[in-house]
Amino acid sequence: MLNNLTGWHFLIILVIVLLLFGAPKLPALARSLGQSMKIFKSEIRSDEPAETKSAPGTDSAPGADAPDPTTKP
């Protein structure tokens, strides 16, 4: 679909975007797009399968069940 686009086509698209949004608004538009992508990536990472994450409340450290020797009974 995009195989037929050349450098001239991208240049024309860039000029049209500049006319629509204006040069001062382009940095804000790019910043907004970057923040949206960062949020999207963090949401994708938080939806990983539960098998790769450890179960909540489990502690794999050895001796985790032992009482703290500094506390008094």
**Domain edges within the chain:** 7-46
Q: Look at residue 56 and tell me whether its pLDDT is greater than 90.
A: no
- For residue range 15-41, list pLDDT tens digits in order: 898 888 888 888 888 899 899 999 999
Nearest of 38, 40, 36 to residue 28 by alpha carbon? 36
**Contact call for residues 28 and 36 (beta carbons, < 8 A):** no
pTM above 0.75, yes or no: no
